[in-house]
C-alpha cells in the first residue's frame, strides 16, 4: 500500500480502500501505525509521515518503500513458500497469483513446477461452515470443549473461517455463551445449517485464537518466577505486580482443569495464592502422577 500511494500522488481514501480492501477506519489505523515507524534511531528525522489530508492519503519520508527490496535467495525462497502456502489454503487473489508467478519465475526460470506446497486435507465441516458464512446462516454445532472436557450443542452465528498455526477455526458469535468465540473445526462433532438467517455486524471481529474471558470464569492469583513469565504474554491475564524476580497475575479460565494443568506444567516456577479448591485438585493430580512412577 505504501509503495502504491507514493507512486500515485494524490490517491484518495476511496481509491486506497477500494484497491487494498480497507475500510476508512482500518486505513487510518494503519497510517497511525506507519506514523511511528521508520529507520533505526527512530528520531523525528527517521520516522515516516503518514496521514489523510481532506480526502488525500499522504505518505512521505518513506523512500525506501518506493522500489522493490533486494532479496537474498534464502529470503526470496521463504517469501515464495509463505505465498504458496497462503494460496493453497484458499483461492488466491489475482495480485497474489501474479506476484507468486513472477517470484517463482525469477527463482526457478527453468521450470514452474519446481516447488509446490501441499497442505493437509481440510477438516470435515470447513466447506459447510464457509457456505454458512457466505449466506449468513445460523449453524448448530456439537462441540468438544477441551478445557471442560464436555460436549455441548451450540447455535452459532458464523463470521469467518480461517487458518492459524496449522489449524482451522470458526470465528462466530456463540448464542450459548452470548459472546464471540473461536472454535477449532476439527473439534466440531456435527454441524447443521439452520434456515434462520442473522445480520452480520458492519465490522467483523478479528480472526484470533485464544481464550475469551466471561463472568462465569474461575479466577486465581499466581506468582510466577522468571522462567514462567511467558504465561503473561501467552494468556489474557491481569498483571497485579511486576518485579525482575516475580510476576503476580490473576489468571482466569472457564474450568479448573486448565488451571491445574498449567500449574503442573510450571512446577516450582509458579505459586498458587489462596484458592483452596484449586489447591486441593492440584495436590490430588500431583499424587496421581507420582503414583504412576512408583
* Residue range 240-277, pLDDT digits in tens: 888 888 889 888 876 777 788 888 888 888 899 888 88
pLDDT of res. 57: 92
pLDDT of res. 140: 94
Cα dihedral 63, 64, 70, 75 in deg (nearest 10): -150
User: Which domains, and CATH codes, for the chain?
Assistant: 2-65 (no CATH), 126-197 (2.30.30), 218-292 (3.30.70)
Do the beta carbons of residue 232 and residue 224 sit within 8 Å?
Answer: yes
In Å, how far are 9, 10, 13, 36 from 57, measured between CA atoms?
8, 7, 6, 16
pLDDT of res. 257: 79
pLDDT of res. 264: 86
Give the chain's radius of gyration (CA, Å): 24
pLDDT of res. 288: 82
Q: Round to whole Å and give the CA distance between 257 and 262.
A: 8
- Split at pLDDT 50, 70, 90, the class of 116 is low
pLDDT higher at 194 or 200: 194
pLDDT of res. 7: 87
Is pLDDT of 139 > 70? yes
Note the pLDDT tens digit of each residue in 54-68: 889 998 888 877 776
Task: Give the global pTM.
Answer: 0.43
Query: Cell numbers at residue 123, please?
Result: 477438516
Q: Round to whole Å and give the CA distance between 41 and 29.
A: 23
pLDDT of res. 212: 57
Would you list the DSSP string of 162-211? EEETTEEEEEEEETTTTEEEEEEGGGEEEEEEEEEE----SSPPP---S-
Q: What percent of the chain has pLDDT over 90?
A: 15
Mean pLDDT of the chain: 82
- Split at pLDDT 50, 70, 90, the class of 111 is low
pLDDT higher at 116 or 22: 22
Q: Round to whole Å and give the CA distance between 248 and 271.
A: 9
- Split at pLDDT 50, 70, 90, the class of 210 is low
Q: What percent of the chain has pLDDT over 70?
A: 85
Note the pLDDT tens digit of each residue in 217-241: 788 899 988 888 888 767 767 788 8
pLDDT of res. 197: 92
pLDDT of res. 14: 93
3-state DSSP assignment of residue 155: strand
Is pLDDT of 165 > 70? no
pLDDT higher at 22 or 149: 22
Note the pLDDT tens digit of each residue in 66-109: 776 678 888 888 888 888 877 766 667 787 888 888 888 888 87
Note the pLDDT tens digit of each residue in 26-41: 999 888 888 888 777 6
- Split at pLDDT 50, 70, 90, the class of 158 is very high
Amino acid at each position: 500500500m505504501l509503495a502504491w500511494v507514493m507512486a500515485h500522488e494524490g490517491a484518495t481514501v476511496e481509491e486506497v480502500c477500494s484497491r487494498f480492501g480497507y475500510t476508512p477506519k482500518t486505513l487510518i489505523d494503519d497510517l497511525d501505525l506507519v506514523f511511528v515507524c521508520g529507520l533505526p534511531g527512530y528520531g523525528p528525522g527517521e520516522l515516516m509521515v503518514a496521514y489523510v489530508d481532506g480526502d488525500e492519503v499522504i505518505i512521505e519520508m518513506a523512500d525506501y518503500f518506493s522500489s522493490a527490496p533486494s532479496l537474498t535467495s534464502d529470503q526470496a525462497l521463504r517469501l515464495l513458500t509463505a505465498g504458496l502456502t497462503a494460496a493453497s489454503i484458499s483461492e488466491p487473489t489475482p495480485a497474489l497469483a501474479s506476484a507468486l508467478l513472477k517470484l517463482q519465475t525469477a527463482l526457478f526460470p527453468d521450470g514452474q513446477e519446481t516447488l509446490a506446497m501441499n497442505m493437509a486435507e481440510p477438516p470435515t465441516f470447513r466447506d459447510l461452515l464457509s457456505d454458512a458464512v457466505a449466506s449468513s446462516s445460523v449453524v448448530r454445532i456439537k462441540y468438544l470443549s477441551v478445557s471442560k472436557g464436555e460436549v455441548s450443542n451450540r447455535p452459532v452465528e458464523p463470521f469467518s473461517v480461517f487458518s492459524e498455526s496449522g489449524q482451522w477455526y470458526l470465528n462466530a458469535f456463540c448464542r450459548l455463551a452470548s459472546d464471540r468465540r473461536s472454535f477449532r473445526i476439527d473439534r466440531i462433532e456435527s454441524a447443521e445449517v439452520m434456515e434462520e438467517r442473522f445480520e452480520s455486524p458492519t465490522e467483523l471481529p478479528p480472526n484470533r485464537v485464544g481464550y475469551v474471558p466471561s463472568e462465569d470464569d474461575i479466577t486465581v492469583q499466581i506468582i510466577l518466577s522468571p522462567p514462567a513469565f511467558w504465561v503473561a504474554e501467552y494468556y489474557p491475564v491481569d498483571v497485579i505486580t511486576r518485579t525482575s524476580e516475580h510476576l503476580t497475575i490473576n489468571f482466569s479460565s472457564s474450568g479448573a482443569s486448565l488451571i491445574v494443568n498449567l500449574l503442573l506444567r510450571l512446577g516450582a516456577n509458579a505459586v498458587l495464592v489462596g484458592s483452596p479448591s484449586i489447591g486441593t485438585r492440584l495436590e490430588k493430580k500431583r499424587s496421581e502422577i507420582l503414583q504412576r512412577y512408583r
